[in-house]
Amino acid sequence: MIFTVAIDGPAAAGKGTISREVAARFGFAHLDTGLIYRATGRRVLAGEAPLEAARALEPGDLAAGGLRTPEVAQAASRVAAIPEVREALVAFQRRFARREGGAVLDGRDIGTVICPEAEVKLFVTASDAVRAHRRWLEEQAAGLGTSEADVLAELQARDARDAARAAAPMRAADDALQLDTSRMSIEEAVAAAVAAISDRMDRG
């Protein structure tokens, strides 16, 4: 069975958690496409040219340490705005999406650019303040001394860059189900996603 679930949205909205839970629930493969750009950004920070880094990317790069740091996140957003870099990484994502057995991909342009034919599209969002608080808690748990105000500024700068870029700007697909998780628990958000997917699968 080939069945693609595309889950998009800004950072810290909950799309990664929802994607992992949905993949586990249905037995689908999961790809956090942000890791592709983070891994590319990490190689750029190490001195490689962006396009060279994208073309040389290997599966092992996605398991490398340090991919969740603010510096790598910013580098990922910058390289993602380069059309040639995006082109180099699109084919990998599309092959993954249409693999046998079903796939869940989360990112920023899955439903609009990578997999416009996805059987289910979700756009997960939350208020800036809620997202910043969530990310700040993650960074505190990781031992990072970032202030919540700095985290909010970083998220807003990244959102603006991702939404304004000429190549595949972040936006909800016209046929995407929008989930605002600002006031939702993880369980509620996952349940809403599972219901949407189950309904589509039942319709064949």
Annotated binding site for ATP: 9-17
User: Do the Cβ atoms of 61 and 42 come closer than 8 Å?
Assistant: yes
CA proximity to 94, closest of 77, 121, 117: 117
User: Do the Cβ atoms of 3 and 121 come closer than 8 Å?
Assistant: no
Binding site residue list: 9-17
The Cα–Cα gap between 84 and 63 comes to 24
What Å distances lie between residue 115 and 21, 94, 107, 133, 173, CA to CA?
Answer: 20, 7, 11, 31, 10
User: Do the Cβ atoms of 97 and 24 come closer than 8 Å?
Assistant: no
CA proximity to 121, closest of 177, 73, 79, 65: 177
Q: What is the 3-state secondary structure (H, E, C) of 28-55?
A: CEEEEHHHHHHHHHHHHHCCCCHHHHHH
